[in-house]
Chain A
Amino acid sequence: MKVFAKYIKLSPVAKAIIFAFLTFYSILTLFPLIWLVYNSVKTNNDFLANPFGLPQLSKLQLKNYYDAWVTMGIQRFTINSLIISSVSVIFSLIISSMAAYAIERMIWRSSQKVLNYFLSGIMVPIQIILIPLFINFKKLNLLDSRIGLLIPTVAFALPTSIYILTGFYKTIPRELEEAALIDGCSVYKIFYKIILPLTMPAFVTIAVFNFLGAWNDLLIPLVLIQTPELMTLPVGLLNFRGMYGAELTKMFAAVVISAIPSIIIYFVLQDKLLKGMIAGAVKG
C-alpha cells in the first residue's frame, strides 16, 4: 500500500486531532472484546455485582475455561467446526481449481458462459435455498450428518473460489503447458504436475477465506444439524446459551474460546485474507 500521507501535507495540529480521534475510536471498538475477556475470569456473582470492574487477581476463575471447554462441551463443537471447515476447504480447492482450469485454460466455446453461471451464485442469499435443501436432505437422510453439512458449505464456496482462480490462471504463461505437451504430458498430468504447484499462493488465499467462512457460518448448520454431537461452534454456542444461560461468566469463557482461532488465523495470514476479501468484493 502506498503511503498517501507523503503527498498530502497536513498541519501537525490536524494530524494530532486525527490521531486522537483514531485512538479514541479504536478503544471504543476494542473495549467490548476486552470487557468480555476480563469478565470471563470472574465468578458469576462478582460479575453481577460489578459488571464493569476488573477481576480481583486473587479470585481469578480460570476454572470457567476448563468448565466451558471440557464439562460443557465446547471442545466437541470446536472439533466439529475444525472438521467441517478443513474438509470443506480441501474439497472446494480441488473442485474449484479443476473448474477454473477448464474455464480459463482449456479451449471450448461456452467457457465464459459457464464462468458467468458460477459467478451469478455470489449474489444469491443463502436463505432462498434453505427450505428445499432441508426438505430434500430429509428425504435423502442427509440431515444431521457431516456430509449433509459439507455439501452446501462447499457449493457456496465455489463461486468466489472459481472467480479468484480464473483470474490467477490468466497470469500463467502458456509456454509452460506447451513445453509439457511436447514432452508428452496429457492435460491431466499438466494440470496435476505443473498448474497445481503454481496455484499454491492462490490456494492459501482461498483456503483462509473459505475456512473462516465455514468456521463462522451460522445459518446452514442451524438448519441442517440438530444433534449436539455434530454441532459446529456457532450453533453450539447458541445451544450452550440455552442450556447454561445463567452461568454468564462461563458463557463468556466459551465465547472467548470460539473467538481465539479466528483471531490467530487473522494475525498469521492477514495479508492473504485481506487480499481474498478485496478480490472477492471487487467482483461485486
Chain B
Amino acid sequence: MEKAFGNKLAIAIFIAPALILFTLVIPLPILHSFYMSLFKWDMLSTMTYVGFENYKELFSDGIFLSSIWHTIEITVLSLIFQVTLGLFLALCIVNITKGRKYFQNAFFIPNILSSAVIGILWFFVYNYDFGLINSILKSIGLDSLQQEWLSQKYVILALSITTCWQWVGYHMILYIAAISGISQDIIEAAIVDGAQGLKMVTKIIIPQIRPVLRVSIVLIITGSLKYFDMAWIMTEGGPDFASETIATYIYRTAFNKLQYGLGSAASTFLFVVSILVTVLINRFAAKREEVY
C-alpha cells in the first residue's frame, strides 16, 4: 500500500507535466520580468544594463503616475458599485420566492460574455451621436443631459459602470450562496431577539458572510489592479491618457513603443503591489474575523 502510493517514479510522472508547464509559464517569467527591468532593450539593438534607471524613469513619467491614480479610482468605484449593489441585489433576491431564477440569470448573464463583446457593446452605448444613452435621453426630451460619456471628464466613471454591469452578478451569486448558508438557528434566534430589517442585515447577515465579503473584495481589488480589457477596447487608455491604467501602460510601453525594459519595470511594480494588497487584506480581514 505505502509502497505503491509512495512510488517515487509514479509521483514524478504524474506531477511533472503540470509542474514544468506551470513553472515555465508563471514563476520563471516573473523572475525574467524583474531581470529585464534592469536593462534598456527594444529587441533590435543590444541589451544595456541600466540598474534601477527604468524604475526612476517610470516614477518620473507623468503618464505612469496618472495611470496609478486612474487604477485607484477604478478600484474604489468598483468596490463601491459592486459590493453595495451586489449585496443589495442578493438581499432582495433571497427575500422573494417567485422569479428568483430569472433575476439571477438576468444579473449574471453579462459576466459570461467576453470582454471584447462587452467593450464593443458599451462603446456604442456611450457613443455621443448614436449611443443608447444619448438616444434614450433625446427620445424623452432630456437632450440637455446628453454627454460625451467617454470624455476626459466621465471616462473613468463610464468604464467603472460597465465593469459593474459585467461583474455585479458574479458577486451577487457569491453573496446569495453565503446568505443561504447562514444556519437557520442563528436567523431564528435573531428574529426572537427582535432583529428586523436593517438591523438583521447589519448585525446578523453581514457579520455572518464576512469571509465571502473578504473574498469578493480581494477579487475586485486584484481585478481592478490589472484593469485592461475595457480600457483598451473602449478608449485605448484615452482620450489623452485619461483612462490609462497600469495595465494599459504596460501594454503600450512594451508592445507599441517596444520599450521592454520600462514595461518590465512597470509589470514588476504591478506584481509587487498585487501581492502586497492581497496579503494585507487577508491579514487585516482575518484578524477582524477572529474578533467576531
A: residues with CB less than 8 A from B are 1-5, 7-8, 10, 15, 18-19, 21-22, 25-26, 29-33, 35-36, 47-48, 50-52, 94-96, 98-99, 101-103, 105-108, 114, 117-118, 121, 123-136, 138, 151-152, 154-156, 158-159, 162, 177-178, 181, 186-188, 191, 212, 215-219, 223, 233-235, 237-238, 241, 248, 251-252, 255, 258-259, 262-263, 265-266, 270, 273-274, 277-278, 281-282, 284
| Residues of B close to A130: CB separation below 8 A | 250-251, 254, 267
B6 touches A106 (CB 8 A): yes
Interface mask (B164-204 → A, CB under 8 Å = 1, otherwise 0): 01000110011011011000100110010000000010000
> Smallest distance from the beta carbon of A137 to chain B beta carbons, Å?
11
Q: Which 9 A-B pairs have the closest CB atoms?
A: A155-B25, A234-B116, A99-B18, A102-B14, A216-B114, A4-B94, A129-B29, A125-B226, A26-B106
In the bound complex, what is the Cα–Cα distance between A266 and B116 (angstroms)? 18
| Residues of B close to A126: CB separation below 8 A | 226
A123 touches B109 (CB 8 A): no
B30 touches A128 (CB 8 A): yes
Interface mask (B109-127 → A, CB under 8 Å = 1, otherwise 0): 1101111110011101100
In the bound complex, what is the Cα–Cα distance between A224 and B274 (angstroms)? 24
B115 touches A234 (CB 8 A): yes
B21 touches A151 (CB 8 A): yes
A263 touches B260 (CB 8 A): no
B93 touches A127 (CB 8 A): no
| Residues of B close to A129: CB separation below 8 A | 25-26, 29-30, 33
> Smallest distance from the beta carbon of A68 to chain B beta carbons, Å?
13
In the bound complex, what is the Cα–Cα distance between A183 and B32 (angstroms)? 49
Judge whether B96 is part of the interface by a CB distance below 8 angstroms. Answer: yes
A124 touches B26 (CB 8 A): yes
How many residues of chain B have a CB within 8 Å of chain A? 106
From known contacts A19-B96, A26-B102, A259-B117, infer whether A127 and B247 are also in contact, taking CB-CB under 8 Å.
yes
| Residues of A close to B121: CB separation below 8 A | 32-33, 36, 255
A32 touches B132 (CB 8 A): yes
B10 touches A106 (CB 8 A): yes
In the bound complex, what is the Cα–Cα distance between A143 and B283 (angstroms)? 41
> Smallest distance from the beta carbon of B189 to chain A beta carbons, Å?
11
**Which label, helix, strand, loop or mixed, suits the secondary structure of the B interface?**
helix
Q: B179 is contacted by which of A4, A32, A102, A114 (Cβ under 8 Å)?
A: A4
Q: A22 is contacted by which of B29, B103, B274 (Cβ under 8 Å)?
A: B103
B: residues with CB less than 8 A from A are 1-2, 4-8, 10-11, 13-15, 17-19, 21-22, 24-30, 32-33, 36, 43, 89, 92-99, 102-103, 105-107, 109-110, 112-117, 120-122, 124-125, 129-132, 135-136, 138-139, 165, 169-170, 173-174, 176-177, 179-180, 184, 187-188, 191, 200, 212, 214-216, 218-219, 222, 225-226, 228-229, 232-233, 247, 250-251, 254-255, 260, 263-264, 267-268, 270-271, 274-275, 278, 282
B112 touches A29 (CB 8 A): no
| Residues of A close to B122: CB separation below 8 A | 32
| Residues of B close to A94: CB separation below 8 A | 17
Q: A278 is contacted by which of B120, B130, B173, B275 (Cβ under 8 Å)?
A: B173
| Residues of B close to A134: CB separation below 8 A | 254-255
In the bound complex, what is the Cα–Cα distance between A6 and B246 (angstroms)? 47
| Residues of A close to B179: CB separation below 8 A | 4
From known contacts A4-B94, A128-B270, A130-B267, infer whether A237 and B5 are also in contact, taking CB-CB under 8 Å.
no
| Residues of B close to A262: CB separation below 8 A | 112-114
Q: A132 is contacted by which of B29, B98, B107 (Cβ under 8 Å)?
A: B29
> Smallest distance from the beta carbon of B23 to chain A beta carbons, Å?
9
| Residues of B close to A125: CB separation below 8 A | 222, 225-226, 247, 270-271, 274
In the bound complex, what is the Cα–Cα distance between A118 and B232 (angstroms)? 30
| Residues of B close to A25: CB separation below 8 A | 89, 107
14 A-B residue pairs with CB within 8 Å: A1-B180, A2-B184, A22-B93, A29-B107, A48-B129, A106-B5, A106-B14, A108-B8, A125-B226, A131-B250, A131-B267, A138-B43, A154-B21, A284-B218
> Which residue from chain A places its CB closest to the CB of B18 in the assembled complex?
A99
| Residues of B close to A96: CB separation below 8 A | 18
B109 touches A266 (CB 8 A): yes
A284 touches B214 (CB 8 A): yes
| Residues of A close to B250: CB separation below 8 A | 127, 130-131
In the bound complex, what is the Cα–Cα distance between A153 and B15 (angstroms)? 19
A212 touches B271 (CB 8 A): no
B116 touches A131 (CB 8 A): no
